[in-house]
Amino acid sequence: MTIKPIQGGITAARGFLAAGVHCGLKAKGLDLAVIFSQVSAAGGAMFTTNKVAAAPVVLSRQHLGSGPMRAVVVNSGNANACNGEQGMEDARAMAAMAAKALGVKVRQVFVASTGVIGQPLSMDKVEAGIKEAALALRADGGEDAARAIMTTDTRKKEHAVVVDVDGVKVTIGGIAKGSGMIEPNMATMLAFITTDCAIKDNLLQSALKRAVDESFNMITVDGDTSTNDTVIILANGQAQNPLIDKEDGAYLAFLAGLKEITTALAKDIARDGEGATKFIEVNVKGARDFREARQMAKAIANSNLVKTAVFGCDANWGRIICAAGYSGVDFVPDRVDIYLGDEQVAARGAGLPFDEKRARSILQQDEVVITVDLNMGGEMATVWTCDLTYDYIKVNASYRS
Amino acid sequence: MTIKPIQGGITAARGFLAAGVHCGLKAKGLDLAVIFSQVSAAGGAMFTTNKVAAAPVVLSRQHLGSGPMRAVVVNSGNANACNGEQGMEDARAMAAMAAKALGVKVRQVFVASTGVIGQPLSMDKVEAGIKEAALALRADGGEDAARAIMTTDTRKKEHAVVVDVDGVKVTIGGIAKGSGMIEPNMATMLAFITTDCAIKDNLLQSALKRAVDESFNMITVDGDTSTNDTVIILANGQAQNPLIDKEDGAYLAFLAGLKEITTALAKDIARDGEGATKFIEVNVKGARDFREARQMAKAIANSNLVKTAVFGCDANWGRIICAAGYSGVDFVPDRVDIYLGDEQVAARGAGLPFDEKRARSILQQDEVVITVDLNMGGEMATVWTCDLTYDYIKVNASYRS
């Protein structure tokens, strides 16, 4: 199976246009995006597990499964969450404005928002933005869209691949935003994916769920699951491959390409965690089952003490085994091996006289790999996160100001 | 029921001596304490729920319930955790050294340690320290003991009360340490309590459990449960009150006094959280049951985003309802009221046009009270924590160095 990375993102696949404009919801920078499929597209989506779901999430959930989709309208700078009935009216108005500007039905439009919670959306700005974006749609507008969905992100996140499906070249591309309020379980960020693959709705949704579970649900920045998390995929069939209507080889080829995109976007989000200076990969292996391995890897990745130790280049492996110990997973402490990069720092639950200098130089890299081997079984899980730094505090101590 | 706070801590009750000395486990400052009851005492204790328990925890668990107790020996600067069989030998040696120096049995000595994980204990230093402390035991040595158990704590924590039990004045006093790796569930710190109350072992243990559940288990600093958490109580009967042997009025009077001590120590720990500038009280009320209220209050208190917002004096109540939303508790977002101090900032799940200046001045106080009213029932829970600051990062980025 060949998966070839290519330039671009949300407009890499045939038949998709996008635009990003500045409408004034943020003081400066692009803050409203429209993604448009020139023909009907199968739609799939996953949303936050937070009990408090933002209005656009509630609305997009209603639109999902109502038939072919055509567009996504997204704003940054305001989450439109906790705004009561007015919030729902505003989300519906966003869909209606986009539908009108694009000449499609209201229920064919997904809506997403990200930004501050609990402040009314300035609908005059949103309306002007949607009109402007609809007129600005372009086949190379993906990058503007990627920028328009950013909040505290320091860089745009877009990826695309070409994958061979039934002998046909299918393109999958996506964009994402998110650097705070990042914790798995669908999944504390926005991501939009387009593909020209021909695939039935139900299989598109199942592939999305599998890809998200192994990518976005494996990252964490601060353990906070937001009210607005949304991943949307549109598949418009323009690649002309035979319609994927069962879990055959073509489905698996598509799924592999999709995972490539969601994983690349997920790692981008972890790498761009608020204030982060380092990307951290936490592997838990030798586990009896995957779920336990993931649960432990997440506990380690979410530990403020582990994250600050990595920031400080301090090979304090005691905090790693401590986090493993309170993860809720049953294991035998005396069997645990711990590695920083390829330097083993603990064996059978006790410290080794490791080379502190080497450990420090490993921790000074941009990417730090922590591996915990439980020596109990053959399963493993990998979770991605970032370090916890002065700048995380700085970014979040006055986010609204 | 009158509970009268008095000066002092671990040596406030009759028949207890203590000492704190410097034996060199820390570069400077007191680092070893001995607490001694002049007569046999009933002992109670609770330990960490972390799967990885330090050697002194394993040993003290064995000694608990083996009969009357006489002493506690504690060191700071080294946790004696993850040191394999050597760690157990060292913990046993600490108990044996203390027993010998004090003329009591080995199993009558509780052992506790706090500090770096995974480094061998320097037993020559410990031995010298125990000998010195045993010779230095004094009826006014409580304050030295309170200082000797500190690690990153910025101030000693000691409290004492006198409570009327069956017409007899009973004294209860305690000391505690802890400012990082603080998360409820027994309870991420060390605390030692002495009382001259006459009370049976099983009732002492049940009173301790009740008091700890409502105090130490209601605080959190960073969500990390340590490998060494220990609360120990010794009750030597020297107050000469009629022996408490059932859950009668005398038991309840004693329990009330004990709760006063554990709550005061727990709040001291939250207030002294690593790098903290503010003490935060999170109330969840109007809940259907206490456990749900506590679960939600803890989720809010553990949110890095809520804690940094308080640090930055940013009335970002959206992060509070967001944390409530992912707490796992079922509730109706549209019924939720949120208050900062006595300023209501959200009503029925939506923002109010509150006075930003007033909200900011509330957040600038040393103590900030956050109240979430679910409007669903009559139960409530209170959790204590602190803000997340630049100094938390500073303290923890190079703890071992």
Query: What length is written for chain A?
Result: 401
Instruction: Verify whether the Cβ–Cβ distance A349 to B52 is below 8 Å.
Output: yes
Plot region of A286 (φ>0 → left; ψ -120 to 50 → alpha; else → beta): left
Of A52, A223, A311, the CB nearest to B333: A52
Which residues of chain A from 327 to 356 reach within 8 Å of chain B, CB to CB? 327, 329-331, 333-334, 346, 348-351
- Give per-residue pLDDT as tens, A127-183: 999 999 999 999 999 999 999 999 888 889 999 999 999 999 999 999 988 865 544
What are the residues whose beta carbons fall under 8 Å from the beta carbon of B324, sequence distance 6 or more? A51, A52, B284, B296, B299, B300, B331, B336, B372
Of A52, A87, A314, the CB nearest to B321: A52
- The shortest C-alpha distance from B51 to chain A (Å) reads 4
- The shortest C-alpha distance from A278 to chain B (Å) reads 13
Show residues of chain A in contact with B331, CB under 8 Å: 51
What are the residues whose beta carbons fall under 8 Å from the beta carbon of B387, sequence distance 6 or more? B273, B276, B277, B278, B280, B307, B308, B310, B311, B368
Catalytic site includes residue B188: yes
Is A277 touching B (CB cutoff 8 A)? no
Q: Which residue of A88, A181, A319 is the best one to mutate when testing the B interface, meaning the one whose CB has the most B CBs within 10 A?
A: A319
Is B161 touching A (CB cutoff 8 A)? no
Whether residue A85 contacts residue A49, with contact meaning beta carbons closer than 8 Å, is answered with no
Of B225, B321, B331, the CB nearest to A326: B225
- Give per-residue pLDDT as tens, A383-399: 998 888 887 777 777 65
Whether residue B23 contacts residue B124, with contact meaning beta carbons closer than 8 Å, is answered with no
CA distance B19 to B89: 24
Query: Phi/psi at B353 (nearest 5 deg)?
Result: -75, 70
Q: For residue A306, give both structure tokens.
A: 């582990």
At residue B213's C-alpha, the angle toward residues B210 and B216, to 5°, is 125
Show residues of chain B in contact with A182, CB under 8 Å: none
CA distance B118 to A7: 47
**pLDDT tens for chain B, residues 1 to 401:** 689 999 999 999 999 999 999 999 998 999 999 999 999 999 999 888 888 889 999 999 999 999 999 999 999 999 998 898 999 999 999 999 999 999 999 999 999 999 888 889 999 999 999 999 999 999 999 999 999 999 888 889 999 999 999 999 999 999 988 865 544 333 348 889 999 999 999 999 999 999 888 888 877 665 556 677 888 999 999 999 999 999 999 999 999 999 999 999 988 888 887 778 899 999 999 999 999 999 999 999 988 889 888 998 888 888 899 889 888 899 999 999 999 999 999 999 988 888 888 888 999 999 999 999 999 999 999 998 888 888 777 777 765 54
**What per-residue confidence (pLDDT) applies to A58?**
95
At residue B9's C-alpha, the angle toward residues B7 and B14, to 5°, is 90
CA distance A111 to B83: 54
| Half-sphere exposure of residue B272: CA atoms within 13 angstroms, side-chain side | 20
**What per-residue confidence (pLDDT) applies to A401?**
47
CA distance A196 to B360: 51
- The shortest C-alpha distance from A183 to chain B (Å) reads 10
At residue B205's C-alpha, the angle toward residues B202 and B206, to 5°, is 85
Query: What length is written for chain B?
Result: 401
Instruction: Verify whether the Cβ–Cβ distance A79 to B318 is below 8 Å.
Output: yes
A392: how many CB neighbours lie within 10 A of its CB?
A: 30
User: CA of A105: how far to CAs of A33, A70, A97, A131, B34, in Å?
Assistant: 18, 8, 10, 16, 77
Is B84 touching A (CB cutoff 8 A)? yes
Q: What is the pTM of this model?
A: 0.80
Instruction: Verify whether the Cβ–Cβ distance B304 to A52 is below 8 Å.
Output: no
Closest CA to A113 of A175, A42, A25: A25
**What per-residue confidence (pLDDT) applies to B53?**
87
CA distance B397 to B392: 8
CA distance A103 to A393: 45
- C-alpha dihedral over B305, A58, A193, A17, to 10 degrees? -120
Exposure string (b/e) for A240-275, b if CB count within 10 Å is 16 or more?
ebeebeeeeebbebbbbbbbbbbbbbbbbbbbbbbb
Which residues of chain B from 175 to 234 reach within 8 Å of chain A, CB to CB? 180-181, 183, 185, 222-227
Of B118, B319, B388, the CB nearest to A350: B118
At residue A57's C-alpha, the angle toward residues A149 and A49, to 5°, is 105
Band (pLDDT 50/70/90 cuts) for residue A215 is confident
Instruction: Verify whether the Cβ–Cβ distance A118 to B318 is below 8 Å.
Output: yes
Number of residue pairs across A and B with CB atoms under 8 Å?
222
Instruction: Verify whether the Cβ–Cβ distance B326 to A183 is below 8 Å.
Output: yes
Which residues of chain B from 33 to 52 reach within 8 Å of chain A, CB to CB? 49-52
- The shortest C-alpha distance from B33 to chain A (Å) reads 24
**What per-residue confidence (pLDDT) applies to A185?**
36
DSSP structural state of residue B82:
S
Say which of B188, B225, B227, B371 is annotated catalytic.
Answer: B188
